[in-house]
Structure 1
Amino acid sequence: MDNFSTWVSDQDISIQYLYTKYLKQNPDVELQKRIALEGYGKYLLSQQKSDGHWGKYYYQPKWTSTHYTLLQLKDCGVSPDTSACRNILYSMFEECQLPEGGLNLAKSDMKSDICVDGMILNYASYFLPEYEKLEPLVASILQKQKSDGGFTWYDQNEGDPHSTICVLEGLRSFLASTKDEALKSKVKAAIQRGIDYFYQHQLFLEEKKYQKLTYPFRYFYSIFRFLLFAADLGLEVNDSISEGLKLLSKKEKNGFFTLEKLYKGQTFIDFSKVGEIDPFLSIYGNYIFAQLK
């Protein structure tokens, strides 16, 4: 870990902060304040246009859109009171929230996408934890949980892993921000049903496409991503998680994790190239092993 901490000291300020948050379990507020002024955070914020958007609109084009940039800024640890993020989020809810509570980020007339709604809830609960329009979004999401505990934007009765992990992360983020005990109870129950969905499928351990180490996660499921979620919740290690940890341990080398896959598309930043040590995966990977003992 000495070599790892030395490596961290040479990384972007976001990685230095995430190291204190995840591995030291003592978030350094002074480091967090610098994220908007240096490195990844500063650059992402500098790409915001005069109309408040990144990219062309809330969801166009994919990875440089307002939606995915807000998700990345949250992941980078930028302060939740960052006005640039809060202000465009107010606009997003005013312009895109549908009567049923979900949000349509497209310019066409369509229903909300449960997978996107989950990601919105993830970063909106971080940047606008006090916002009253989060509760209708949560209510909409809870109503769409399938009988198997999963979620999906497909026209089917079973959940899919991509939508489900995005929704679970969103509900987890909301759980940390709400003070409504009755709603907390409902959210916790939905999260447990979602976790059981993954257990029913043994975390999809046998599917090689889900074994790849990739970051940013975007809207895609991976075993690594579930293990990170499990670490955040402090889940008990069962057979499925144990097998997932075995897979992950084979990819670890001296505390570091190498990027194995990137999703195609225009980006603002490539944090690493395939075959290189990835800073986010390395922080998250060590956190997973520390929490899921």
Structure 2
Amino acid sequence: MDVTEWLLDADPSIRWQVMRDVTGASADAIAAERSRVAREGWGARLLSLQGDDGRWGGGTYSPKWVSTTYTLLLLRLLGLDPESSEAGRAIERVREGVTWEGRGGKPFFGGERETCVNSMVLVLGAYFRQPGPLLDALLERLLGEQLEDGGWNCQAPRRSHRASFNTTILALEAMLEVERSIGPDPAIAAARARGEAYLLERRLFRSRSTGEVIRPSWTRFSFPPQWHYDVLRALEYFRAAGAEPDERCDEAIGLVHGRRRADGRWPLQHTHPGLRHFEMEDGDGKPSRWNTLRALRVLAWHEGGSGIASR
């Protein structure tokens, strides 16, 4: 089958990214398609579900995966243009009306206590153009929470002094988004380099000490990933960061090749249980446009030696 045509026969949120990352369409055509995300399909549906109080799902962080935090993360993955009027109205409602339960009315973009949650808030604040003292404080805190091994862990320092893959990928994605927003920053670049080394030294999914696969679930690809780590998510980070392909990614790239079906598509795998606003694909084991798009652009990065700074 023609995989590209299959990918293009999709929601605008997929189409515009295929046009940018696979077909190499013109900038004007890509922008026009991206603008549809706010007005049609999944993006428009998600925006319409925002409550008058600014929240989605009736909560700030829970219920998973329909709360305000996770809905905004999904809108970012869909590529909702942060400069669009629709995004502006939605974010204004969040900024003015959403607070953290049990935190004395602390505003959404002020973040919470936990490193994982604060990384999510930071990536959203940077993506949706919310610079200011609140995000500066979150960034400073995140930089200060980096562990000696180079990664991050939401259980540190109370329960663990060793990094977590889940927390580390969230922190790396957040700092990359901040640099896209404010420009290169030496402190952020140094922290990202240490975090990237943490993942690379473990070949993205193996124990550094034993060489064993840490969690088999990390070798199966989910969308949306929510707060969970997997190999494809890590490779997408390195691609988006414009990193030079590293030989320590080769085994992970081999996993991506191995997940490809005979018809050239990749399946959806290991969907994380929880509530969803609506279904975007046909379920685990079925061909996935999201995973196919993500895998194709990761392989193109690895084989071509250049990254695509996704927005």
- Name the TM-score, length of structure 1 as normaliser: 0.89
Identity between Structure 1 and Structure 2 (%): 25
Q: 2:95 aligns with which of 73, 90, 96?
A: 90
Aligned counterpart, 2:4: 5
Q: Which residue of 1 aligns with 2:308?
A: none
Residue 277 of structure 1, aligned match among 268, 287, 296: 287
Q: Which of 220, 224, 231 matches 2:232?
A: 224
The equivalent residue for 1:109 is none
Give the C-alpha shift of residue 24 in structure 1. Answer: 4.2
SS of the residue corresponding to residue 165 of structure 1 reads helix
CA distance in 1 between partners of 2:63 and 2:192 (Å): 30
Distance across 2 between alignment mates of 1:24 and 1:156: 45
Native 8 Å contact 1:175 1:187 kept in 2: yes
Which runs of 5 or more structure 1 residues have no equivalent in the other structure? Answer: 105-111
- Asked if the contact 1:22/1:284 (under 8 Å) is kept, the reply is no
Task: For residues 228-286 of structure 1, give each alpha carbon's deviation from its aligned partner in whole angstroms, at most 9, with x where no partner exists.
Answer: 11111232323320110011101113442101111111111222201111121111111
Secondary structure of the residue aligned to 2:7 is helix
Separation of aligned partners in 2, 1:30 and 1:96: 37
Distance 2:266 2:99 in 1: 37
Residue 259 of structure 1 aligns to a residue whose secondary structure is coil
Task: Check conservation: 2:201, 2:248, Cα contact below 8 A.
Answer: no
- Deviation (angstroms), 1:133: 2.6
Match of 1:263 in 2: 272
- Structure 2 runs not aligned, ≥5 long: 207-212, 304-311
Structure 1 counterpart of 2:246, from 227, 238, 251: 238
Q: Tell me by how many angstroms 1:209 deviates.
A: 1.6
1:63-212 to structure 2, matched below 5 A, reads 63-81=65-83, 82-91=87-96, 92=98, 95-96=105-106, 103-104=111-112, 112-154=113-155, 155-179=159-183, 184-205=185-206, 206=213, 207-212=215-220
Offset at residue 171 of structure 1 (A): 0.6
Cα distance in 1 for residues equivalent to 2:129 and 2:242? 25
Question: What SS does structure 2 have at the residue aligned with 1:257?
Answer: coil
Partner of 2:34: 32
Give the equivalent residue in structure 2 for 1:18.
17
Match of 1:247 among 237, 247, 255: 255
- Whichever residue aligns with residue 172 of structure 1, its letter is L
Residue type of the partner of 1:6?
A: E
Amino acid at match of 1:70: L
Distance across 1 between alignment mates of 2:142 and 2:20:
29
In 1, the alpha carbon distance for the partners of 2:93 and 2:121 equals 12
Match for residue 56 of structure 1? 58
Please tell me whether the aligned partners of residues 129 and 174 of structure 1 are also in contact (alpha carbons under 8 angstroms): no
- Please state how far the C-alpha of 1:132 moved relative to its aligned partner: 4.2
Q: Is the 8 A contact 1:89 1:124 kept in 2?
A: no
How far is the alpha carbon of 1:120 from its aligned partner? 1.4
Amino acid across the alignment from 2:259? K
Runs of 4+ in 1 over 6 A off after TM superposition: none
Q: Please tell me whether residue 292 in structure 1 is matched to residue 302 in structure 2.
A: yes
TM-score of the pair, normalised by structure 2: 0.84
CA distance in 2, matches of 1:131, 1:24: 37
Distance 1:136 1:21, change over 3 A: farther
Tell me how many residue pairs correspond in the alignment.
Answer: 280
